[in-house]
Amino acid sequence: MEEPSLIQLLQQRLRFSKRIQQADAAVLIAITQEQQPKVLLTRRSIHLSQHAGEVSFPGGKRDPSDTSNIVVALREAQEETALNPFDVKLLGDLPIQRARSGLSVKPIVGLIPAEVDLIAQPTEIDRIFFAPLQQLIDAPPLPYEVRLVRQSIYFPSMQ
């Protein structure tokens, strides 16, 4: 019997939370739908006031008109990379995470075509690239220390 692919495993295991909690921001974890899936990543512009030069998933802060975390993730991905929201097959979400800035961030997971035309929004994004999903799964997260007045907080990160 053939083992299920990474895409099949994601489709089987991911769902949307029954308890809807609005986050301050949302990101889209966009995974290419192909035999060796890849994850869409961006490098943020060095001219930004927050998260400058960092590698991230497409995403950003909630606008007052945004009706859900999904809307935030899809809108921001479209603004930053020109990804058409209709090209995204939504699979589910992951638990809310805390950013170093203190914002609550909701990850939304979706599949995108293997061949998709993307354009970096130059005021926000320096570069768009893809990383193999299996490589990200296999790489252990590294602790990233943020020092506060009297304590340090560690966040998972990757190199």
Q: What is the pTM of this model?
A: 0.86
For residues 68-72, give the mean pLDDT: 96
38-69 pLDDT, tens digit per residue, is 999 999 888 877 777 888 999 999 999 999 99
Q: Look at residue 18 and tell me whether its pLDDT is greater than 70.
A: yes
Question: Which residues, in sequence order, are CB contacts of 64 under 8 Å at separation 6+?
Answer: none
Give me the domains of the chain, ranges plus CATH numbers: 6-157 (3.90.79.10)
136-151 pLDDT, tens digit per residue, is 888 877 777 777 778 7
